[in-house]
Amino acid sequence: MKAGSILLNALLLGVLGAGLTIGQFGRADENPAPADPALLPVFEQFGGKPGIDALMEDFMIRLIDDPRTRDYFAEADQKHIKQMLAEQFCVILGGPCTYTGKGMKETHARLAINEGGFNALVEDLQLAMDMHKIPFRAQNKLLAKLAPMHREIVTRP
């Protein structure tokens, strides 16, 4: 029947699509801190650099509390990671900072992070931002910049 062959085509396309997305690894490191001067008002909503620094404290506490992310961070150099993250967020939000850390691909290449781990970190960041009374729409403006980094950070599968 005609209907059946359309469905078969759809399924084939689906399998092809899967192949294509899986096949797109191996591009060059992207800019880990793409500055967007238009986000300066959002930077203010985060409370500037001091606000971001304070946010990092509670963010890290959550990451270590969360069984999905704990093992990654518990014995890592937390102070350094918080510092780098704060610089990174500051630059992205158009703030007067310089990011002195490494690329996202390089940093996370050996960590075997899956999509669930990535989303877990996003959830923990959201909770920390809630705690710091950062408006939902401002949160989303930052998350929109971070989300594409999944391509470099998620290496499994």
Residues forming contacts to another protein in the complex (CB under 8 A) are: 3, 6-7, 10-11, 13-14, 16-18, 20-22, 25-26, 67-68, 71-76, 110-117, 119-120, 122-123, 126, 136-137, 140-141, 143-145, 147-148, 150, 155-157
Residue 65 has a CB neighbour count (10 Å cut-off) of 11
Report in angstroms how near the CB of residue 46 gets to another protein at its nearest. Answer: 15
Beta-carbon-side half-sphere exposure of residue 14 (alpha carbons within 13 Å): 6
Contact status: 51 vs ligand HEM (CB under 6 A) = no
Whether residue 10 contacts residue 65, with contact meaning beta carbons closer than 8 Å, is answered with: no
Contact status: 109 vs ligand HEM (CB under 6 A) = no
Nearest of 36, 39, 38 to residue 134 by alpha carbon: 39
Query: Which residue bears the tokens 């359309």?
Result: 6
Contact status: 64 vs ligand HEM (CB under 6 A) = no
Residue 157 site contact among ligand HEM, another protein, none (CB < 5 to 8 Å, cut-off depends on kind): another protein
Report in angstroms how near the CB of residue 43 gets to ligand HEM at its nearest. Answer: 16
Q: Report the C-alpha gap between 39 and 140 in whole angstroms.
A: 11
